[in-house]
Structure 1
Amino acid sequence: MMPKRLVVDGGSAKYHKLTKSSDDGYIDLQFQRPPPKAPYKAIMLATLLFSIGTVLLVVGALLLSGYISAEYSDRTWPVLIIGALMFIPGAYHVRIAYYAFKGYEGYSYDDIPEFD
């Protein structure tokens, strides 16, 4: 039930003076941050980097060990270096995305950069 209000006549319009109440119009829910959306493009790019980097590292390791005979052995180190350059950031961001998906403390989708 609404509290009684004092009606003040101010010419042609009637104004109501509001009574003092303990409700200031704010609720705690409006100050909470909404859950972050998953950056699907960035996660797919990280998964692609992780996959290709893994394949290049395995092929480079097999070339280096001699299990695969390389006609041009000077291509072994570039394959390993490019594989490492792709594997490291891919694995890092896939790990963050997995932990954020599982809801671990301290991990969020905000830690993954978006590409919009």
Structure 2
Amino acid sequence: MAYVDHAFSISDEDIMMGDSSYAIRSRPPIKEIAFAVALLVFGSLAIVVGSIMAANRVGGDRAHGIFFAILGSVLFLPGFYYTRIAYYAYKGYKGFSFDNIPAV
């Protein structure tokens, strides 16, 4: 069995008793959630349009469509991630909070 040093561990009493700088928000961050949803929507649209452009060679050659699809995926990924956090925090899943969404 390994030795565990409890000198630097944080217990529940330390969090409850100590002066904490935790801020409890009473309402969800509307601007941040709207920004995440906008990234999700525009990223999805850009992926679809870029794929159509690449398949049909619309708006130039195939490289323009591939670039547009890659740009859409760059928008889609953070939008999906933070929209998912906001949805799970709204539904009350354990481990998800509106505090996990960074301020804009």
Same fold (TM over 0.5): yes
Matches within 5 A, 1:1-116: 35-36=24-25, 37-66=27-56, 69-73=57-61, 74-115=63-104
Runs of 5+ consecutive residues of structure 2 not aligned to the other structure:
1-15
Once residues 23 and 68 of structure 2 are traced to their aligned partners in structure 1, the CA distance between those partners, rounded to angstroms, is 43
Once residues 70 and 90 of structure 1 are traced to their aligned partners in structure 2, the CA distance between those partners, rounded to angstroms, is 27
Structure 1 stretches of 4+ with a deviation exceeding 3 A read none
In our comparison, the structure showing a higher alpha carbon Rg is: 1
Q: Structure 1 or 2: larger strand share?
A: 1
RMSD over aligned Cα atoms: 2.0
Deviation (angstroms), 1:82:
0.9
Alpha-carbon spacing, 1:103–1:71, altered in 2? closer, same or farther (3 Å): closer
Once residues 114 and 39 of structure 1 are traced to their aligned partners in structure 2, the CA distance between those partners, rounded to angstroms, is 8
Percent of paired sites with the same residue = 35
Once residues 57 and 42 of structure 1 are traced to their aligned partners in structure 2, the CA distance between those partners, rounded to angstroms, is 22
Q: Alignment length, in residue pairs?
A: 83
Q: Deviations over 1:82-101 (max 9, x none)?
A: 10110000000000000000
